[in-house]
């Protein structure tokens, strides 16, 4: 892990203040924490400050966040310098983070890094036109679509020399670009010879609730089968006596009145 320091003084702005909208947002975030625990909002506020300030955190922003949360500046500085998601120096308009971990390496990350060197310059330096800076990072969690890069907040995947060069040039020219896979595949479906998950209903929303219905049907069928089995196992009902039989008088006893039989 490299040492992370604040940018040198010449590039540091004199002051920092949240915009009106961001200040209102920060107030809401702080109010979510109990009194005395407002420091818990520090990462959220630092992140918003970075987004507002061209994707990097100047010293003045770190101090401002400390004042808003009543935290000593050193505590905020510790957090800003610990997490690599906070940039401490200018990163250009488009900050390119290239994944250099094994799956991306095996799929050509070396070539993507080569293009960064050629098109942007050395790592951690802003290009001459201020458009780009780049950095090699560890796995960004999109290994299925390797090699990939993150540019500001978005992922660009399935890169090769041609589509990555075109992507940089379109971003530089301010043209709209496609986010995600650059080869057109949806999410991380198989890149070719797709043999599964081909039913369009899986993706158009029509299958929503399908599992609930299938489960309810299965319960109904099981209940009907149980009832049928119970009926089949039950003994046949005994015949009810006919009204004529009920009306017949009881037979007289053959037993003599004195109780002796001859
Ligand atoms: S290895 Fe590159 S995204 Fe995981």
- Let me know: does 163 contact 176? Beta carbons within 8 Å: no
Q: Residue 259: pLDDT band by 50, 70, 90 thresholds?
A: very low
Name the CATH topology of 9-82.
Arc Repressor Mutant, subunit A (1.10.10)
For the chain, residues classed under CATH 3.40.30.10 are 94-184
The pTM for the full model equals 0.69
Nearest to 91 by CA among 135, 59, 48: 135
Nearest to 54 by CA among 91, 6, 97: 91
Task: Please give the distance, rounded to the nearest whole angstrom, from the Cα atom of residue 105 to the centre of ligand 1.
Answer: 8
For the chain, residues classed under CATH 1.10.10.1590 are 9-82
Comparison of pLDDT for 127 and 197, the residue scoring more: 127
> Which residues neighbour 203 within 8 Å (Cβ) at sequence distance 6 or greater?
186
- Let me know: does 7 contact 53? Beta carbons within 8 Å: no
Q: Give the residue, out of 98, 140, 157, with the most ligand 1 atoms within 8 A of its beta carbon, to mutate for a pocket test.
A: 140
Task: Please give the distance, rounded to the nearest whole angstrom, from the Cα atom of residue 79 to the centre of ligand 1.
Answer: 25
Give the three-state DSSP class for 162.
helix
Cis omega (within 30 of 0) on the bond before 150? no
Give the pLDDT score at 255. Answer: 52
Q: Residue 240: pLDDT band by 50, 70, 90 thresholds?
A: low
Ligand 1 pocket, Cβ-based, cut-off 6 angstroms: 99, 101, 103-104, 139-143, 146, 148
Task: Please give the distance, rounded to the nearest whole angstrom, from the Cα atom of residue 135 to the centre of ligand 1.
Answer: 14
Q: Is 64 left (phi over 0), alpha (psi -120 to 50) or beta?
A: alpha
Comparison of pLDDT for 144 and 1, the residue scoring more: 144
Assign domain 94-184 to its CATH superfamily. Answer: Glutaredoxin (3.40.30.10)
Nearest to 99 by CA among 46, 158, 40: 158
Query: If you average pLDDT over residues 92-105, what whole number do you get?
Result: 96
Give the pLDDT score at 10. Answer: 92
Give the pLDDT score at 262. Answer: 40
Task: Please give the distance, rounded to the nearest whole angstrom, from the Cα atom of residue 231 to the centre of ligand 1.
Answer: 61
Q: Give the residue, out of 96, 97, 98, 104, with the most ligand 1 atoms within 8 A of its beta carbon, to mutate for a pocket test.
A: 104
Give the chain's end-to-end CA distance (angstroms, integer). Answer: 120
């Amino acid at each position: 892990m490299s040492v992370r320091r604040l940018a040198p003084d010449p590039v540091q702005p004199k002051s920092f203040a949240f915009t009106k909208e961001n200040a209102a947002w920060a107030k809401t975030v702080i109010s979510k924490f109990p009194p005395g625990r407002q420091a818990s909002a520090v990462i959220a506020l630092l992140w918003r400050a970075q987004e507002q300030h061209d994707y990097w955190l100047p010293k003045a922003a770190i101090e401002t966040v400390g004042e808003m949360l009543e935290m000593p500046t050193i505590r905020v500085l510790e957090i800003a310098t610990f997490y690599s998601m906070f940039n401490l120096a200018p990163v250009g308009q488009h900050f390119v983070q290239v994944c250099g971990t094994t799956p991306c390496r095996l799929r050509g990350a070396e070539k993507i890094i080569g293009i960064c060197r050629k098109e942007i310059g050395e790592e951690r330096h802003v290009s001459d036109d201020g458009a780009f800076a780049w950095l090699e990072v560890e796995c960004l969690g999109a290994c299925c679509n390797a090699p990939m890069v993150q540019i500001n907040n978005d992922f660009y995947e399935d890169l090769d020399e041609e589509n990555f060069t075109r992507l940089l040039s379109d971003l530089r020219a301010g043209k709209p670009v496609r986010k995600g896979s650059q080869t057109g595949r949806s999410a991380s479906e198989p890149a070719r010879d797709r043999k599964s998950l081909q039913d369009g209903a899986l993706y158009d929303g029509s299958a929503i609730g399908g599992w609930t219905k299938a489960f309810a049907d299965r319960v109904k069928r099981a209940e009907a089968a149980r009832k049928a089995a119970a009926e089949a196992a039950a003994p046949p009902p005994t015949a009810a006596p006919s009204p004529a039989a009920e009306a017949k008088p009881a037979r007289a006893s053959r037993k003599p009145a004195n109780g002796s039989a001859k």
